[in-house]
Amino acid sequence: MFGHDIIVVGTSAGGVEALGILVALLPADLPAAVFIVLHIPAQSPSLLPEILSRAGPLRAIHPTDGEAIQHGRIYVALPDHHLLVEAGYVRVVRGPRENRSRPAVDPLFRSAALAYGPRVIGVILTGSLDDGTAGLLAVKRRGGLAVVQDPDDALYSSMPRSALTHVNADYILPVTNIGPLLARLAREPAAEEGAYPVPEDMELETKMAEMDRSAMNNGAPGGTPSVFSCPECGGVLWELQDGDLLRFRCRVGHAYSVDTVLAGQSEVVEEALWVALKTLEESISLSRRMAVDAHKRGKDWLAKRFEEKLQQTEQHATLIRQVLLKGENTTLDESANLVATEDKGNTVTNRDDP
């Protein structure tokens, strides 16, 4: 009988410190493999394997695609690549972002649950937003164990709190207690996998993370189509319901929680506002130039029209600057209404009346 020999760990903000504490307390003879996703910018070099190798007795590496899984080894996700687990080996893929991240926690947890079922321990540590919640639900659906850092112990509590809101965690502990717990659980027998059949939706989502063509050509990622569009590609988002957790996924595989959809929409709105401000500033410069030119040619009536347009456009530009300065305190509705005001302005053409 197998023990809980597949340990998957997800974290983001504050994660380097928490991971260092965790791995320092793992034994050198740990009868399990550890897989770690830490959110990291795509272009940033990752020194996490070196940091973790120095912090504890286990060797940490960035694995290669197809590398065999070994007990007593820590596998760390590469920047801009998802880390996935197959039966007996590791996958390293540049699949679609999930929760606006690559690597993301959910694909790792979901793939491990699919491949190893009750042998998996899912661990959620400090982090922002809620990546990892859906993955931890997948671990539980397949009979695995859920371990969550106590939010009061976490440097950033959002990820642990989200996990505890939606998942019936088996253990809630400060990070200093998680390492010894994992060492003990790894030696305890896991339940039989037959009691936890593989859900079709879990298999489909794992294939989408791998960019499997059959899954991509399926046309629908499960669930029901929503009225919302994907912040990354503009495609239709499909609603997926995991218990009381509402999620979204588009047909090419981008996946979001509610929080990350809102964050993505806010970024799209901000980009639109900057474009609108740039366009307004150009309109102001052109209107000012044309008003001066009209005055020089003695066409004061035309200059007046350009000056009126100039004044109106400056008011709109001032409003958009205020929205951008307010940042996250501005609602999406306020931003959309301010952008829409420019569409109601009058267009001035540079021609002489007959």
181, 147 Cβ separation under 8 angstroms? yes
| 85 beta partners | 90
Tokens 């008003």 sit on residue: 291
Residue 335: Cβ within 10 Å count: 22
CA distance 20 to 15: 8
Which of 12, 101, 157, 287 does the annotation list as catalytic? 12
CA distance 84 to 102: 12
Which of 4, 39, 82, 166 does the annotation list as catalytic? 39
Q: Is 39 designated active site? A: yes
Q: Is 44 designated active site? A: no
Q: Is 80 designated active site? A: no
CA angle 158, 164, 166 (to 5 degrees): 105
**Residue 121 belongs to what H/E stretch?**
strand 120-124
Tokens 């042998």 sit on residue: 119
303, 297 Cβ separation under 8 angstroms? no
Which of 5, 106, 130, 131 does the annotation list as catalytic? 131
109, 139 Cβ separation under 8 angstroms? yes
**Residue 333 belongs to what H/E stretch?**
helix 332-343
Enzyme catalytic residues = 12, 39, 131
